[in-house]
């Protein structure tokens, strides 16, 4: 049997939690995968270490002076990686012929354009950046569908969506995946404040909010988990990925984070995917699909899982979750506004400019101001994103 050629991987957001975990899985399989390109915003030291270890052809730093510094350090170390800078370079590395798979792991709206470029270029997009689907679900799914003949495919990295994908195995081939599906049960840990007195939520600090009970993640998604906006974004992500309406998605609080999501079928079956909470499982699944490879994750010892609990979410405690359901029901401009306002509000909370309970207030303001309708052109999507950021910043300035 001939050996499959090694796949070239581009990691957008290589220095983040998902990027680092992706490199960990790749390093376990040097004959199957090689790193073709890496990107980061401005963390020179980390990207430099990664370039020295993996010798990609290209490295992008969005920040110009960071790129110059990286270039200098790599040359001094005798490393031959070509360093590029600027946002446009993110799109350039996503479409390189030597790239087979793109790990879309930039946080926030900044990931949208390079992810779209990868889809249009017929790459396997391993999507961690849920914000792309929240902002431009139809456009993004169309880009994948329209470029399937070039090889475009979408594999979800979000652990819940990866679990759903594994429980709906026909998805990649097209439309029959929904046959017999009655509900998607999207699990959530409930975050660090699940049992905290709701009247004291206004006092929580960024340090407390980012201390997630089960997962180690970047700061923004950790705050999103505490407000459960993360689950709200994931409801919208699931609607687009699996082509179901939001009322078919039931959020289930499952504090142990062992079941990563479930799918209910009309014959009474419920399929679930379980595993230790470690992002290397969905990453390895998406790299190897339809095969399986070692991810470095410890096998789940079912006897150690003493119990599994399930609760309905409290929409008063998790106001952001309700806002996400509402926004998706209203349409595209509302979900763009939701995402943009959330990014602004979380950033302000992390900088201690606003309280934890002000986050949903900023989002409500942006939703009120968003026009109805769903834009289908990228320029209109980006214009709405910008407009909602202005509304949110003006509101913050007046607080």
Residues that bind ligand NAD (CB under 6 A): 13-19, 40-41, 43, 62, 105-107, 110, 128-131, 158, 215, 217-218, 221, 279
Among residues 167 and 342, whose Cβ is nearest to ligand NAD? 342
Q: Are 36 and 10 in contact (CB under 8 A)?
A: yes
User: Of Mg ion, ligand NAD, none, which one sits near residue 341, judging by CB under 5 to 8 A according to partner kind?
Assistant: none
d(CA 337, CA 204): 25
Among residues 261 and 264, whose Cβ is nearest to Mg ion? 261
Residue 158 touches Mg ion, criterion: CB under 5 A: yes
User: Of ligand NAD, Mg ion, none, which one sits near residue 342, judging by CB under 5 to 8 A according to partner kind?
Assistant: none
Cα 344-374-174 angle, rounded to 5 deg: 105
Among residues 55 and 214, whose Cβ is nearest to Mg ion? 214
User: Of ligand NAD, Mg ion, none, which one sits near residue 84, judging by CB under 5 to 8 A according to partner kind?
Assistant: none
Among residues 300 and 369, whose Cβ is nearest to ligand NAD? 300
d(CA 45, CA 47): 6
User: Of Mg ion, ligand NAD, none, which one sits near residue 212, judging by CB under 5 to 8 A according to partner kind?
Assistant: none
Q: Find how far residue 299's CA is from the centre of its chain.
A: 24
Among residues 88 and 150, whose Cβ is nearest to ligand NAD? 88
Q: How does 386-398 read in b/e, with b if 16+ C-beta sit within 10 Å?
A: ebbbebbeebbee
Residue 131 touches Mg ion, criterion: CB under 5 A: no
d(CA 330, CA 363): 14
User: Of ligand NAD, Mg ion, none, which one sits near residue 278, judging by CB under 5 to 8 A according to partner kind?
Assistant: none
- Compute how many other C-beta atoms are within 10 angstroms of the C-beta atom of residue 167: 22
CA distances from 361 to 328, 331, 367, 399 (A): 18, 20, 10, 11
Among residues 198 and 386, whose Cβ is nearest to ligand NAD? 386
Task: Give me the least distance between CB of 260 and ligand NAD, in Å please.
Answer: 11
Task: Give me the least distance between CB of 379 and Mg ion, in Å please.
Answer: 30
Task: Give me the least distance between CB of 214 and Mg ion, in Å please.
Answer: 11
Using DSSP's 3-state secondary structure scheme, residue 374 falls into coil
Residue number closest to ligand NAD, CB atom: 16
């Amino acid at each position: 049997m001939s050996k499959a050629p090694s796949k070239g991987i581009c990691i957008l957001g290589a220095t983040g939690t998902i990027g680092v975990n992706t490199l960990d899985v790749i390093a376990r399989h040097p004959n199957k995968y090689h790193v073709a390109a890496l990107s980061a915003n401005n963390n020179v030291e980390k990207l430099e270490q990664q370039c020295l270890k993996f010798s990609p052809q290209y490295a992008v730093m969005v920040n110009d002076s960071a790129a110059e510094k990286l270039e200098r350090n790599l040359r001094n170390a005798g490393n031959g990686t070509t360093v590029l800078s600027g946002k446009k370079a993110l799109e350039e590395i996503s479409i390189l012929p030597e790239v087979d798979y793109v790990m879309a792991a930039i946080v926030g709206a900044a990931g949208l354009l390079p992810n779209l470029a990868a889809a249009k270029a017929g790459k396997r997009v391993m999507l961690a950046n849920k914000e792309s689907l929240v902002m431009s679900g139809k456009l993004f799914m169309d880009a994948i569908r329209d470029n399937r003949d070039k090889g475009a495919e979408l594999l979800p990295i979000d652990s819940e969506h990866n679990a759903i994908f594994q429980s709906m195995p026909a998805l990649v081939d097209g439309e029959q995946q929904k046959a017999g599906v009655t509900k998607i049960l999207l699990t959530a840990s409930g975050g660090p404040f699940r049992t905290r007195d709701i009247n004291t939520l206004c006092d929580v600090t960024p340090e407390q909010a980012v201390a997630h009970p089960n997962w180690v993640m970047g700061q923004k998604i950790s705050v999103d988990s505490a407000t459960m906006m993360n689950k709200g974004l994931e409801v919208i992500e699931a609607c687009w990925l699996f082509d179901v309406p939001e009322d078919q998605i039931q959020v289930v609080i499952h504090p142990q984070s062992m079941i990563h999501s479930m799918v209910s079928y009309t014959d009474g079956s419920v399929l679930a995917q379980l595993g230790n909470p470690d992002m290397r499982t969905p990453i390895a699944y998406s790299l190897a699909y339809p095969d399986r490879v070692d991810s470095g994750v410890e096998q789940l010892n079912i006897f150690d899982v003493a119990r599994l609990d399930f609760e309905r979410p409290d929409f008063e405690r998790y106001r952001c979750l309700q806002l996400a359901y509402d926004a998706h029901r209203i349409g595209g401009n509302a979900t763009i506004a939701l995402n943009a306002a959330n990014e602004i509000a979380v950033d302000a909370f992390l900088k201690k400019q606003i309280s934890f309970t002000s986050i949903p207030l900023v989002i409500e303001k942006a939703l009120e101001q968003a026009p109805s309708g769903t834009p289908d052109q990228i320029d209109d999507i980006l214009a709405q994103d910008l407009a909602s950021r202005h509304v949110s910043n003006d509101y913050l300035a007046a607080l």
